[in-house]
A and B are shown apart, each in its own frame.
Chain A
Amino acid sequence: AQKVTQAQTEISVVEKEDVTLDCVYETRDTTYYLFWYKQPPSGELVFLIRRNSFDEQNEISGRYSWNFQKSTSSFNFTITASQVVDSAVYFCALSGGTGGFKTIFGAGTRLFVKA
């Protein structure tokens, strides 16, 4: 069975602090994708990144960076120099197996960035 665990329910930081959101996953598939989505109060899922299981290269996009480690089944997300606009719920997700894009989501981490 597939599972995604986001152990941090809520995180509160002060603007300009760096913050890391943790994600641990379980799967028996050898081919899978990992995702991070941002969900602002409007409710729409905003896609941030996808990573396939064969690409363990870390990625940086502006203030965002992702650390994918298959050895520990983790796909952590770091925001550098956080801003108030980063306040949202962030979901880590996993797809794989015969279900194609059938996606399992973590419970989400609510990030509060205070000015």
Chain B
Amino acid sequence: DTGVSQNPRHKITKRGQNVTFRCDPISEHNRLYWYRQTLGQGPEFLTYFQNEAQLEKSRLLSDRFSAERPKGSFSTLEIQRTEQGDSAMYLCASSLDRDRDGYFGPGTRLLVL
């Protein structure tokens, strides 16, 4: 069990560019969650998948954000036309089905200049 992994760990981009992050969950976990954490705040829920189906999206997930989990394994989170306000830590977590227990990845820290 290698835990939840996220790549890249750090990303610096210029405003207006698109970025994509990847999350690899624990292999047998069929639920995958994305969170965003801005400076000085706790992580906030963005969206989650059960297998390849995206079951819930937060109001925080604007039209510039899109998440996919095409084969029910890894997931990607893309931000289009990045803005400085998108600078944050993006965290991924996974769990078994409806289990209320799960595990977080190390996060991807995004800085938009």
Contacts and interface: CB of A to CB of B under 8 A. Distances in A.
Interface of A: 4, 31-33, 37, 43-45, 47, 50, 52, 91, 93, 95-96, 98-108
A95 B100 contact: yes
A96 B43 CA distance: 16
A100 B42 contact: no
Given A32-B100, A100-B48, 19 more contacts: A43-B89, A44-B106, A44-B107, A45-B104, A47-B104, A99-B48, A100-B102, A101-B95, A101-B99, A101-B100, A102-B33, A103-B43, A103-B93, A104-B45, A105-B42, A106-B42, A107-B41, A108-B41, A108-B42
Interface of B: 31, 33, 35, 41-45, 48, 56, 89, 91, 93-95, 97-104, 106-107, 109
Contact of A105 (B44, B95, B97, B102): B44
Given A43-B89, A99-B48, A103-B93, A33 B101 contact: yes
A32 B41 CA distance: 23
A108 B43 CA distance: 10
B100 A31 contact: yes
A95 B99 CA distance: 9
B102 A45 contact: no
Name the residue among A37, A91, A104, A105 with the largest chain B CB count within 10 angstroms: A105
